[in-house]
Amino acid sequence: MNRAAAAPAPLRSVAAKPARRRVWVEQIMGMPISVHARGPRARDPHAARAARELFADLRASDALFSTYREDSQISRLNRGELTLDDADPAVREVHRLCEAARIRTDGYVNAWAIPGHPGWFDPTVLVKTWAVARAARHFDTLPDLGLAIGAGGDILLRSGSEPEPWTIGIEDPSDPTRTLAGVPVFDGGVATSGSAARGAHIFDPHTGQPATEVVSATVIGPSLMWADVWATAAVARGRSAIDWVRTLHGTSGMLVLADGTVHRWSNEA
């Protein structure tokens, strides 16, 4: 679960005051996970407890799904020491979601197409954002709290009772000190995939070759996990993603091509 993406610029809240803000950060899944809360209850002890429970949930997910841990259920599945039927229900759920992602992206997001490991199952393609969205349930008892959870370039957002949206900066993949746009988002997910942080680590599963035509894809939508899937698929598709993203109802976003071209879209639900 140590996949990182090109990170958006730091989160900022347009109207929030320092006394109405709190931030927690912990290192989990090989990356910093940040929880930004805003609103009158941001410093409430219940918010702090929800953040602790969220981080504990993410550690438990890492223990189940990490491909870097010999004792994880994913590693045991790939070694044939565990069957899917005997795996944790969460593993079976993620397995089903990976299959749905493979079908819905025409195979461009494929948890079974792992270079150098034919036949292995690697849910890294979506499990990080699935785990974040799942862990966010610990804040459901604080519905008025504005919430932004950042994990490796992907951000889950809730406006709560705050009147202003969160503003998310989309980073220029060629210059991390520069943002290409600031996007206001009330609720949903913002996911970015590309080569800026880790080089050409996304492959076209159909050819086995690194995907290099799209250097950054940012997708904004109602589901963080699916925004993550769509962003990865857009990079894997290359230039054909310009037409494909028009089919992603209820999303908006930005593609940055290797030649510097920037393509923006916004689709109605």
88-147 pLDDT per residue, tens: 999 999 999 999 999 999 999 999 998 888 889 999 999 999 999 999 999 999 999 999
Model confidence at 245, pLDDT cuts 50, 70, 90, reads very high
Tokens of 18: 């320092």
Surface-to-core class of residue 198, CB atoms within 10 Å of its CB (0-12 exposed, 13-18 middle, 19+ buried): middle
Give CA separation, 207 vs 195, 200, 236, in Å.
18, 14, 10
d(CA 33, CA 57): 12
Query: Would you state the pLDDT for residue 258?
Result: 93
Give CA separation, 236 vs 90, 122, 148, 212, 217, in Å.
27, 16, 27, 8, 10
End-to-end CA separation in angstroms for the chain:
31
Mean pLDDT of the chain: 91
Surface-to-core class of residue 109, CB atoms within 10 Å of its CB (0-12 exposed, 13-18 middle, 19+ buried): buried
Q: Which residue in the block uniquely carries the two structure tokens 């393609």?
A: 125
Is the pLDDT assigned to residue 12 strictly greater than 70? no
Q: What's the one-letter identity of residue 20? A: R
State the pTM of this model. Answer: 0.90
Tokens of 40: 């009158």
Where is pLDDT greater, at 108 or 9?
108
**Residues 6+ away with beta carbon under 8 Å from 49:** none
- Beta-bridged to residue 263, according to DSSP, are 255
Query: Would you state the pLDDT for residue 114?
Result: 84
Query: Would you state the pLDDT for residue 153?
Result: 87
Where is pLDDT greater, at 209 or 198?
209
Tokens of 89: 């229900």
Query: What angle, 0 to 180 degrees and rounded to 10, lies between the N-to-C axes of helices 127-135 and 45-65?
Result: 150
Q: Any idea which fold 12-266 has?
A: T-fold (3.10.520)
Query: What angle, 0 to 180 degrees and rounded to 10, lies between the N-to-C axes of helices 224-237 and 89-104?
Result: 40
